[in-house]
Chains A and B, each alone.
Chain A
């Protein structure tokens, strides 16, 4: 980490996106995480995804809980409102924010302690309600800020830096998200930006509960031999089921894909996900078979990554609540207050 303030200077020929923003317009404060932390790579992938998607930064609200991962929203999208809330309770804050204004993009950034331990309840309930959001866990299997205790996603038998062995079963957030109704589920690796960036782009375009579990090694406390969340271990056991290209609406599909190996999935807003199949039988639209596949590979000690499941026509909480099209926070007394004559009628009914 560095104590230097980020210089305001930018290269005059820095690439601009369709809105005229440069990459720098999507950055935040300088990270205070450890040098080499996987989380910083994820922040940079989020920045890249928003830049590529031509999102106006102020149309994003970024929310988090407490922990190393939850600090990261400060290090990206400096023009967006952020809310670093309470440990394990980001999902409820995000739910409320989303209810207040359905027009913004809600990005929840959390960690394995924040989402699998203290916040497991809020994580599952937020997903099962179908809140339209991108929920990212930066999963390193360890409590970083308190220096190296196992988290609930640590694999059974994995070793801590201090030498202990984890004897508890791990919580698989991906499996859980699938089970309780997430309509976009992916897993990725902080060290694989080519996989991660299009996944984030697709998750943002997805109008429903999208969950991405990103394995993000903790260089300070969980990157040693015997850890199952280290850079080396993940590289060796990473089994990507597909590769994604995200193509925005109006963008031309330039690359020629070999027939039979690629599926084009058109999303609600007209964007297209080109899905290159790495496993010919893997179908990311079949929730049950996807779950079976995941479990069988996990039993074999492999870590499935890529787009694991997606429903191309998701619903969300606002749809199931039939809320008005205008964001609730923009309604005024005219729409909200029934007035004195209606109150007179109510009074009469109470006599």
Chain B
């Protein structure tokens, strides 16, 4: 038998459950209790495209050091799903613990000799205590949380305080949940003492951080950024973004006096209609957005080209999932980069933002509406399922009350009255961004006809080659202007001079930070650049040029970001080494560390030979 894993505030607990069994809230209670003990956690929901019956997992990484990426590996498996038993047992690290429902005897062949088994007759306890089948099911989850509280040396009173907070207004539920959690705790104390050497010890490592999912953050950022029109079509994993916007609007956007809504939300008949509504609203001066995922972006292609060419502001949240086609609808990927960067037919280029976590997503969401109106073009906020649907521990949201919205170049009634020349596609200021007027601005001046067809600087239809080229060139220059407006990349230098660099972006950041520490401990030094937007600024090219080779870490098969870098920065592809992770699970520090270390060692070896 392997030595039992001993760890304090540094281990991974994985819950294997059946979808629809009510395990989610119990598991979340477990994670929150650890947070309340001042110990950071990173949680990941691994769920199927299903409402009831299929397997679902919840991973809780306890990390006193505050690593919030997925670590990989499992130290304690809470195996509540017979369907996935074999796989779950296999996934445990040697010396790990298997917590299971021992009501029915299991043949020895179903266990592993190198793990430590903690059996608890959960079904038996529930059947003895509860009559109602639904209660038997639901309280089983709370009972195991009680047992884990004891096994991991957690504070029972902290768990109880959370239950009290949750059911403050529902006394019956409060009492029954407290009873269940104590029942589990008591059983473990009496029967399972001294088996588990994984411990949670109170710490002060959480600080003022918040625990929130990205879709909530994006919705709240949209409220703060002044979005008034949202049009969407239900699709995992973006549905909860639209629903969160509805939730926050009802809370924060109802006029206190008139009780009327300072927002309009349309659940459209499809994604095409959703983006059409957003473009109509943006054209007419409202800040508007849609939330979708890859298949939705595929459907929106034609409209995205119109918004690019006719220069209409729009914000699109793309909560990326595993593609192509229906792909892995409940798994995470960063595989829509090229789809969005060059969306629609003809020559197009779009602005993309890559937030690293919910806090930055909140900021980018709000900022995207300024960018959309300033640049008069679609802005893609590139989330992924990992950020969107998992709770992340991150810095609190911040807002500067002195900051005004940037409504971009709007020509007003007064401007027109004063005789300013209005050419809808006329570059007046040299930044290639023209002025626009909103419908209804002036009775006799400033009206123009918006179209997806070629037209001249004064919006008059023209298929004259030179007129078309003039406009297309201005759009390229406008994209240049965008470089100075989008969030700049963040550079971090290694402690020692590094010949290699790493480029990464989005949800990879959490695992990357951890991997860098591990690599450094191994004597492997790397400078890093976290991309936060496309178009790329010159800083990106300088970074690549300053290194022999640069790793590009991304969560897709085809190295899409690398392609974009090669293409847009005219860099020799040999300068890049791709590190790709695309099995649908969030990338881990272990994966990055070993992939980079292996390649660097190979290089050293090659150099020696």
The chain A residues found within 8 Å of chain B, CB to CB, are 56-59, 61, 63, 73-74, 78-86, 89, 91-101, 103-104, 121-122, 125, 129, 318, 321-325, 328-329, 331-333, 335-340, 342-343, 346-347, 350-351
In the complex, A36 Cα to B145 Cα: how many Å? 79
Which residues of the other chain, B, contact A335 by a CB distance below 8 angstroms? 255, 262
* Residues of chain B in range 286-320 having any CB-CB distance to chain A below 8 Å: 286, 288, 302-303, 306
CB of B609 within 8 Å of the partner chain: no
* Residues of chain B in range 405-426 having any CB-CB distance to chain A below 8 Å: 405
Which residues of the other chain, A, contact B228 by a CB distance below 8 angstroms? 99-100, 328-329, 331, 336
25 A-B residue pairings within 8 Å (CB atoms): A58-B440, A79-B447, A84-B449, A84-B452, A85-B276, A85-B452, A92-B231, A92-B272, A95-B266, A96-B282, A96-B283, A100-B280, A100-B288, A101-B285, A101-B438, A101-B440, A125-B273, A321-B261, A328-B286, A331-B226, A339-B401, A340-B398, A340-B399, A340-B401, A350-B212
Kindly count the residue-residue contacts between A and B in the assembled complex, taking CB atoms under 8 Å apart.
224
In the complex, A321 Cα to B461 Cα: how many Å? 37
Which residues of the other chain, B, contact A96 by a CB distance below 8 angstroms? 229, 231, 276-284, 286, 288
Contact between A337 and B211, CB atoms less than 8 A apart: no
Question: Which one of A79, A85, A92, A335 has the greatest number of beta carbons of chain B within 10 Å?
Answer: A92
In the complex, A92 Cα to B340 Cα: how many Å? 21
Name the residue on A nearest B400 (C-beta).
Answer: A340
Distance to closest chain B CB from A97 (angstroms) = 4
Name the residue on B nearest A88 (C-beta).
Answer: B272
Contact between B440 and A82, CB atoms less than 8 A apart: no
Question: Which one of A57, A101, A350 has the greatest number of beta carbons of chain B within 10 Å?
Answer: A350
The chain B residues found within 8 Å of chain A, CB to CB, are 208-212, 220, 223-224, 226, 228-229, 231, 252-253, 255, 258-266, 268-270, 272-286, 288, 302-303, 306, 396-401, 404-405, 437-444, 447-453, 461
Contact between B266 and A99, CB atoms less than 8 A apart: yes
Distance to closest chain B CB from A4 (angstroms) = 15
Contact between A329 and B397, CB atoms less than 8 A apart: no
Q: Which of A80, A89, A95, A340 contacts B439 (CB 8 A)?
A: A80
Which residues of the other chain, A, contact B261 by a CB distance below 8 angstroms? 321-324
Knowing that A58-B442, A84-B449, A97-B281 are A-B contacts, what are 19 other residue pairs whose CB atoms are under 8 Å apart, sorted by A's residue number? A81-B448, A83-B451, A85-B452, A89-B302, A92-B268, A93-B277, A93-B280, A95-B280, A96-B283, A97-B280, A100-B229, A100-B288, A101-B285, A121-B273, A125-B269, A325-B258, A337-B223, A339-B401, A340-B400
Contact A339/B270 with A83-B280, A104-B439 known, Cβ cut-off 8 Å: no
In the complex, A275 Cα to B264 Cα: how many Å? 37
Contact between A121 and B448, CB atoms less than 8 A apart: no
Question: Which one of A97, A103, A322, A331 has the greatest number of beta carbons of chain B within 10 Å?
Answer: A97
Contact between B399 and A100, CB atoms less than 8 A apart: no
Contact between B283 and A329, CB atoms less than 8 A apart: no
Q: Which of B275, B288, B399, B439 contacts A101 (CB 8 A)?
A: B439
The 3 A-B residue pairs with the shortest CB-CB distance, nearest first, are A96-B280, A92-B276, A100-B286
